[in-house]
Amino acid sequence: MSEKKTHSVKYNFIMNSILKMSSFIFPLITFPYVTRVLGAKGIGQVNFASAFVGYFSMAAMLGIPTYGIRVCAQCRDNREKLSRTVQELLIISSITTVIAYIVMAILVFEIPTLQGRTAIIYLSSTMILLTTIGMEWFYQAVEEYGYITYRNLAFKALSVILMFLFIHQREDYILYAGVNVVGTVGSNILNFIRIRKYIICKPVRPYDFRRHLKPIMVFFMFSVATTIYTSLDTVMLGFMTNDVQTGYYAAATKMKALLVSVVTSLGTVLLPRASYYIENDMKEEFRRIIKKAFQFVIVSALPLTIFFIFESKDTIGFLAGSDFLKATPAMIIITPTIFFIGLSNITGMQILIPLGLETCTVLSTVAGAIVDLILNVIFIPKIGAAGAALGTAVAEAVVLLVQILQMKMKNKLHYVKVNWKDAGKVVLALIFASAGLIAIKMLVGAHGYFLNLLISACIFFGIYGILLLITKEELIVQIFEQFKKRSPL
């Protein structure tokens, strides 16, 4: 890999942002259609199956998706060592994948609630195999974000075409589950074929599986806790309420999931680079990219959080239709997690993990999972989807708080580099942008979900961006200067 050119963080960020924006744009195209065709019950069935299968996918991969990025990034300049590492991790995940399928089949056969969902669960479970052979962690470790982006865009486009061709009535929810698999992990087949370009494909012995077991299990605990409070809501809603409430929750969390992927897009590309800097004792470079990550989250996550709290009703109406408006309270409650996750993604994934303190991230996610479980048991029977949203929102805040406390205990809090002067400029801009949004909503009134969102977005983000330029917020000024340099004028 030494002869391969490594792209800049800026290039990787642009590519990953395009990828994340595609995750934002494609659902905007598809979700309004499928919610109206399948209804709350059909959407609920698909999301239940996806969440259920997600647990076995997590078990099959152990902690490899995160650990693999770090360990492969550290040895990416040594082809033989990299090849051996990739083969070791692939063998481990292949064994655990077989075990996961066996356990899942037993549960589906034995549990009455699952027996009526056999077809959709088995179809959704192809995601487990494709995730294993896809080795996405390897391509992230070697920073092939251009390839990742182009490949994903092609398969997302294919899934949209398949959806409009085959999803036409409520009984097509099983087909929709298959289309989801194609759009989400179908492209992983290409990863498996392409891997020979980067590594030696014949066995590179001697293998040393033992060196991976402890860190993999640590990251596995991290994945378990994370999956509990990200998918447990849907599973508990399916068992404790009904498919309609599960459908409402899917609508409420759709925009949040899309926005989180955008806000965390920079962090995704920074993990391999941060791990590389720490491994090579480049501490100043490490601090610089962490500071940039904090700036990005504050500038992007706060306005998105506030805007979509204000516009929750119009967002639900636009994405899912009037039949889903009962999901509005759940969306209001869960939207602040955009900001919480943005920050915890930096403190956990970009600081603690590259520094080798992954056990701290495990503790934080375990704390969040426990809080989520307790609140779900209390509130889901009482308020359904809104109760699940409350559990997740509090859990994400707890994760962030525990990570900050862990950093303080480990004397790593100095890595939290926030420009408080610029943060103040962001808050000031948000106050004026919110006032402008409230004023325009009072003056203009309602004109349909999409038009309301369009007008509100133009006013809110227009005021916000202009004020940040006027007050010379550092990140916005840098982006503006880059734009001027590229402009033909």
Express each pLDDT in 183-205 by its tens digit: 888 888 888 888 888 888 888 88
Which run of H or of E encompasses 82? helix 79-110
> Which has the minimum average pLDDT: 19-28, 109-118, 368-377?
19-28
At 24 the pLDDT is 62
At 62 the pLDDT is 81
At 268 the pLDDT is 58
Residue 25 reports pLDDT greater than 50: yes
At 220 the pLDDT is 82
Residue 484 reports pLDDT greater than 50: yes
Mean pLDDT for 9-15 is: 66
Q: How far apart are CA 74 and CA 396, in angstroms?
A: 30
Q: How far apart are CA 318 and CA 160, in angstroms?
A: 18
Residues contacting residue 489 through CB under 8 Å, at least 6 positions apart: none
Most confident range, picked from 55-59, 234-238, 354-358, 417-421: 55-59
Residue 463 reports pLDDT greater than 80: yes
Residue 3 reports pLDDT greater than 50: no
- Per the prediction, the chain carries an average pLDDT of 82
Q: Sign (positive/negative) of CA torsion 308, 310, 316, 321?
A: negative
In this structure, are residues 76 and 141 in contact, taking their beta carbons and an 8 Å threshold?
Answer: yes
**pTM over the 0.85 mark:** no
At 243 the pLDDT is 73
At 446 the pLDDT is 64
At 488 the pLDDT is 44
Mean pLDDT for 414-434 is: 84
Residues contacting residue 16 through CB under 8 Å, at least 6 positions apart: 145, 148, 149, 265, 266, 268, 269
At 433 the pLDDT is 93
Instruction: Express as a percent the part of the chain with pLDDT over 90.
Output: 15
At 1 the pLDDT is 44
At 116 the pLDDT is 78
Cα 478 from chain centroid?
Answer: 26
Instruction: Express as a percent the part of the chain with pLDDT over 70.
Output: 88
Mean pLDDT for 483-489 is: 51
At 227 the pLDDT is 67
Q: How many CB atoms lie within 10 A of CB 382?
A: 8
Q: Mind listing the pLDDT tens digit for each residue in 284-320?
A: 777 777 777 888 888 888 999 999 999 988 888 887 7
For residue 321, give the amino acid letter: G
Mean pLDDT for 16-27 is: 69
Residues contacting residue 293 through CB under 8 Å, at least 6 positions apart: 266, 267, 270, 346, 350
Give the long-range contacts of residues 6-13, CB within 8 A, separation 24 or more: 6/143, 7/143, 7/145, 7/146, 9/269, 9/270, 9/273, 9/289, 11/145, 11/146, 12/143, 12/145, 12/269, 12/273, 13/265, 13/266, 13/269
Q: How far apart are CA 488 and CA 184, in angstroms?
A: 37
Q: How far apart are CA 180 and CA 329, in angstroms?
A: 27
Residue 206 reports pLDDT greater than 90: no
Q: How far apart are CA 470 and CA 351, in angstroms?
A: 32
- Confidence at 462, pLDDT banded by 50, 70, 90: very high
At 74 the pLDDT is 80
Q: How many CB atoms lie within 10 A of CB 44?
A: 26
Mean pLDDT for 105-126 is: 86
> Which has the minimum average pLDDT: 236-250, 257-271, 432-446?
257-271
Q: Please name the residue ranges forming H helices in 62-78.
A: 64-74
> Which has the minimum average pLDDT: 8-22, 298-312, 371-385, 417-431?
8-22
Q: How far is residue 445 from each of residues 173, 439, 448, 488, measured CA to CA in Å?
A: 37, 10, 10, 40
At 458 the pLDDT is 92
> Which has the minimum average pLDDT: 52-56, 167-171, 277-281, 289-293?
277-281
| Better pLDDT: 336 or 224 | 336
Q: How far apart are CA 147 and CA 264, in angstroms?
A: 19
Residues contacting residue 439 through CB under 8 Å, at least 6 positions apart: none
Q: What is the 3-state secondary structure (H, E, C) of 129-191?
A: HHHHHHCHHHHHHCCCHHHHHHHHHHHHHHHHHHHHHHCCCHHHHHHHHHHHHHHHHCCHHHH
Residues contacting residue 161 through CB under 8 Å, at least 6 positions apart: none
DSSP 3: T
Both tokens of 349, joined, read 């994934």
Most confident range, picked from 222-236, 284-298, 338-352: 338-352
> Which has the minimum average pLDDT: 45-49, 196-200, 443-447, 455-459?
443-447
